[in-house]
Amino acid sequence: MKRKVTCLVGQWTAIFDHAFVQLPNAWTVSFVAADGSEVVGEVMEKRSSWIFPNPPTTRPLMAVMSFERGWWNTFYSVRVKPTCDVIAHIE
């Protein structure tokens, strides 16, 4: 199933926000800048192992990214903060 999420410039936008899900899953997300420019920004990924939170990890936003939720990631979220409006195409 494909879905799209619009991520506005300078704002944190959730593309995943899962609670009480313990099944593993993987996604490939393509980001396209609305104005045709290069995709730039930050991605913050948070995982927890049941009640034990892990510190969030951040990495640069790229045009194509992979995300993976593991067996023990009961709470899992991914947020994006781009430097221009982008559309996330989630597969």
Element at 32 (helix H, strand E): strand 25-33
Q: Which residues, in sequence order, are bridge partners of residue 47?
A: 76
Tell me the CATH number for domain 3-90.
2.60.120
Give the Å distances, CA to CA, from 40 to 17, 61, 86: 22, 6, 9
What is the predicted pLDDT for the residue at 70? 86
pLDDT at residue 72, rounded to an integer? 81
CA–CA distance, 49 with 38 (Å, rounded to integer): 35
Any idea where the domains of the chain sit in the sequence? 3-90
Question: How many of the other CB atoms lie within 10 Å of CB of 40?
Answer: 15
Q: What is the mean pLDDT of each run of 10 residues along the chain (91 residues)?
A: 90 94 90 93 90 87 95 90 96 90
